[in-house]
């Protein structure tokens, strides 16, 4: 395991010239999991992770999502699955941001950290607790995988921003792109949430509006834009954010393909759209 760690660290250093990652073994070991993550792409192409529309109905390994309109809503664990797997990310970010020394406190790093926290406050608390009408159950293996990923991701980004590097990217364009991506991600998620809020609909229907005119998964597209924007603001040296972007692509590209095919299979009158990238794919 130690040799694997050394190998991956060296490889990553060769690609990014990231001194911090190369010198700090503890940080490197937390990065290993994230760097290895995209290796799972073939699995994501073969198996649709069991949450949301690909949730397994009756598995005893399901963790309840947030099904407001059935018996699970009375279960105090009802909102546990989504919130717990996402909130670990900002918690680890805060823990590692404030526990490392020496502490860098330049404005750039702090603003990038703030953007990270804004996203995850919305993702882990606001969206599931206050915006989503319902969320399907999440299978235990998906929950564990997401928890592990979020633990390492929040930790390495917080750690790097606090004491390992200095954001030196294209700050204004990067943050503008982040803002556009964040606004687009929440806007298109809201369109999905609204589908079940109107007309008493309990199941799935075809979303319209915004970029849904062109693609099936504009929430994913905007999320990718969002994190690329933050990477551009942080600069090439900020390897944890770029690792996150690659891992996100590894998950969202196969998922967008599966969602798109599911929409076409499920709705006979599904409009002509691409899967993830307007006018391209
Ligand atoms: N999926 C991932 O692996 C992943 C990874 C990183 C970030 N994210 C981000 O997390 C957020 C949620 O992702 P997701 O994959 O769960 O998104 P999603 O499948 O698009 O679902 C989002 C929400 O909308 C509901 N919904 C989806 N399609 C609907 C339809 N046609 N009609 C009515 N309701 C519908 C879902 O209910 P159900 O639960 O009942 O399906 C869920 O409450 C997105 O912003 C995404 O960018 C996702």
Position 135 scores a pLDDT of 77
Position 271 scores a pLDDT of 98
State pLDDT tens for residues 16-70.
Answer: 555 555 556 667 666 766 767 777 777 777 888 888 888 887 787 888 665 443 4
Residue to probe by mutation, ligand 1, list 219, 222, 250, 262, most atoms within 8 Å of CB: 219
Length of the chain: 281
Q: In the numeric block, which tokens belong to residue 1?
A: 């395991």
Nearest alpha-carbon partner for 165 in 106, 213, 215, 94: 106
Position 89 scores a pLDDT of 97
Distance from C-alpha of 82 to C-alpha of 146, rounded to nearest angstrom: 10
Residue to probe by mutation, ligand 1, list 62, 127, 128, 192, most atoms within 8 Å of CB: 192
What atom of ligand 1 comes closest to residue 188's alpha carbon? 45
Distance from C-alpha of 121 to C-alpha of 81, rounded to nearest angstrom: 16
Distance from C-alpha of 16 to C-alpha of 243, rounded to nearest angstrom: 11
Distance from C-alpha of 95 to C-alpha of 115, rounded to nearest angstrom: 16
Nearest alpha-carbon partner for 231 in 217, 215, 219, 247: 247
State pLDDT tens for residues 112-121.
Answer: 999 999 999 9
**Residue with the nearest Cα to atom 26 of ligand 1?**
192
Position 68 scores a pLDDT of 42
What atom of ligand 1 comes closest to residue 134's alpha carbon? 43
Contact 61, 140 (CB under 8 A): yes
Residue to probe by mutation, ligand 1, list 48, 52, 253, most atoms within 8 Å of CB: 52
Alpha carbons within 13 angstroms on the beta-carbon side of residue 97 total 21
**Residue with the nearest Cα to atom 12 of ligand 1?**
189
Position 71 scores a pLDDT of 43
Rounded to the nearest angstrom, the distance between the alpha carbon of 188 and the centre of ligand 1 is: 10
DSSP letters, 225-278, are HHHHHHHHHH-TT-HHHHHHHHHHHHHHHHHHHHHHHHHHHH-TTPPP-BSSST
Residue to probe by mutation, ligand 1, list 220, 257, 263, 271, most atoms within 8 Å of CB: 220
Please report, to the nearest 10 degrees, the dihedral formed by the alpha carbons of residues 20, 23, 24, 27 taken in order: 60
- What are the phi and psi torsion angles at 274 (to 5°)? -85, 175
Rounded to the nearest angstrom, the distance between the alpha carbon of 132 and the centre of ligand 1 is: 9
Rounded to the nearest angstrom, the distance between the alpha carbon of 251 and the centre of ligand 1 is: 13
Q: Residues of the chain whose pLDDT is less than 50?
A: 67-78
Contact 118, 160 (CB under 8 A): no
Q: What is the pTM of this model?
A: 0.89
**Residue with the nearest Cα to atom 33 of ligand 1?**
204
What atom of ligand 1 comes closest to residue 52's alpha carbon? 41
Rounded to the nearest angstrom, the distance between the alpha carbon of 201 and the centre of ligand 1 is: 16
Distance from C-alpha of 275 to C-alpha of 281, rounded to nearest angstrom: 6
Distance from C-alpha of 111 to C-alpha of 236, rounded to nearest angstrom: 17
Ligand 1 neighbours, Cβ below 6 Å, are 52-53, 65, 132, 134-136, 185, 189, 192-193, 195-196, 204-205, 207, 219-220, 223, 251-252, 255
Position 81 scores a pLDDT of 85
């Amino acid at each position: 395991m130690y040799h694997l760690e050394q190998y991956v660290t060296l490889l990553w250093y060769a690609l990014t010239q990231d001194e911090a990652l190369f010198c700090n073994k503890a940080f490197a070991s937390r990065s290993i999991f994230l760097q290895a993550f995209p290796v799972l792409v073939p699995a994501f192409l073969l198996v649709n992770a069991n949450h949301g529309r690909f949730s397994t109905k009756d598995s005893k390994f399901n963790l309840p999502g947030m099904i407001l309109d059935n018996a699970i809503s009375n279960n105090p664990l009802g909102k546990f699955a989504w919130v717990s797997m996402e909130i670990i990310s900002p918690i680890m970010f805060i823990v590692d941001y404030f526990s490392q020394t020496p502490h860098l406190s330049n404005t750039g790093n702090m603003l990038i950290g703030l953007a990270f926290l804004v996203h995850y406050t919305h993702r882990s608390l606001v969206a599931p607790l206050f915006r989503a009408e319902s969320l399907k159950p999440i299978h235990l293996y998906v929950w564990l995988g997401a928890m592990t990923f979020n633990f390492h991701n929040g930790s390495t980004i917080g750690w790097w921003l606090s004491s390992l590097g200095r954001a030196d990217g294209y700050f204004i364009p990067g943050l503008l792109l982040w803002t556009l991506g964040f606004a687009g991600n929440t806007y298109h998620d809201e369109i999905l949430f609204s589908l079940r809020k109107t007309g008493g609909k309990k199941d799935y229907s075809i979303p319209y509006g915004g970029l849904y005119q062109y693609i099936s998964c504009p929430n994913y597209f905007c999320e990718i834009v969002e994190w690329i924007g933050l990477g551009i603001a942080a600069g090439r040296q900020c390897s944890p954010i770029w690792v996150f972007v690659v891992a996100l692509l590894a998950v969202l590209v196969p998922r967008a393909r599966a969602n798109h095919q599911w929409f076409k299979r499920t709705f006979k009158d599904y409009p002509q759209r691409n899967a993830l990238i307007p006018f391209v794919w």
